[in-house]
Amino acid sequence: MLPGVSWSDADCLGDYKMRCKQRTMYPGASAFDFSAIFNIVIADILGWDEENKCTFPYGGAFGVIDAFSGAVEEQGRKTLHAHMLVFIKALSKLLLGLQKLTPGTQKHTTLKTELRAYIDNIMSTRLHRPTTQCNVSYKHECRSRRNPPPQPVPPEVLRANRHKRGCVAIKGSITVCPKCDRKQSSEDHMLKRLREICPEITCFPDTSHRLEILIMRHIYTYLLCSLKKEKEDCEFLINAFFNLHRSLHAKSCFKYGLECRYRLPALFKLKSTIIVHEGSTIWYNIMGVRESYFPITSELKREVTDVFMNTYNRAASIAFGSNTNVNTGEIRTVFYCTTYTSKNTQEDDQESYERVIDTFVRRTAKRRRELEAMGVEGVEDM
């Protein structure tokens, strides 16, 4: 279906190694490319007019915005990404209304409904089509005549998947067959459809890096897709590679403890819910004035196969073929994004420099010992 499918594994690995080498040898080119994409994000995704320093009348993917800020950071794999804070007019009105009105009133309930509709419009946790429309994702060898739809595992099993050792013991199980009791992980469901799209991919993570080649062509192939299923397949590839959290997690997930700091997996939910917590908390605004604040939590709807999905913006993911983590409504998110503008990266920045210096010192000391053994004069002056 897409360019790169017919390549051999050796060709795919060679292409991957070449891209890694170019990225590290020419960081300026990567930064230039990132800057160009970032400008497109500001203009076409956020809907911000950089020339006139104001929003476009029609807004962007998140609606009409008042202002935005951002900080760019380098990841461990030597690529750049940005943390952005966007102030949205419609969202601000909804949140302020929920703060001022008494919970439980008709107006308060109406605002929660509007906020839920807005969040469903800009945030998604969908891996692929609903399981009722995507039977291939849960087909397995079962003693029943028909493969029954997968059932979610009990909440305590799902919670254990957040734990550093629990996820290993449970093997990332998120669904169970009601007939044969077989358990499957997010990767099990995802790999079946991935093989349907590209039979050459035999495992996940894809050791041949063939999936990356398919994703790199996303911007071109998506526009050529005429059928709805073809477009859904392109979106699925992006979600599988970028937005699906791994069942066994990553090392950074347990940076602050034994449970995943991203709180994944999440519960299976039939519809999104907005929770305004009782008991106001006192916060200080930017002018130092004390204000009461009712913490607001949003829980997005998820299919049984979506519990490990990161929250992303569908329009941005389709436009750029990349991951787009999105969060809204929580005041701690404001602090999290704001602190990135003053984050101390000195230790990370010095790592490469210190590694070179350490290598130079060791080689110099080794050469000195060799010269001393040969009786060469003036070694002490080195």
pLDDT number for residue 2: 47
> What DSSP letter does each residue of 74-141 carry, written as one string?
E-TTS-EEEEEEEEEHHHHHHHHHHHHSPTTSHHHHHHHHHHHHHHHHH-B--SSS-TTT-GGGG---
- Closest by CA to 233, choosing from 185, 193, 188, 189, is 193
The rounded distance, in Å, linking the Cα atoms of 188 and 172 is: 10
Mean of all residue pLDDT scores within the chain? 82
pLDDT(380) > 60 = no
Q: How many CB atoms lie within 10 A of CB 353?
A: 9
What is the amino acid identity at position 293?
A: Y
Question: pLDDT category, 1, cuts 50, 70, 90?
Answer: very low
> What DSSP letter does each residue of 356-371 carry, written as one string?
HHHHHHHHHHHHHHHH
> 337 versus 80: which is more confidently predicted?
80
Q: How many CB atoms lie within 10 A of CB 241?
A: 21
pLDDT number for residue 345: 61
Across the chain, where does the E strand assignment appear? Answer: 48-49, 54-55, 65-74, 80-88, 151-152, 173-176, 183-185, 273-276, 281-284, 290-293, 296-299
The rounded distance, in Å, linking the Cα atoms of 168 and 148 is: 26
pTM of the full structure: 0.80
- Chain centroid, CA 1 distance in Å: 26
Average pLDDT over residues 227-248: 88
- pLDDT digits over 126-183, tens only? 987 765 555 666 677 776 667 677 788 999 999 999 999 999 999 899 988 888 888 8
pLDDT number for residue 219: 80
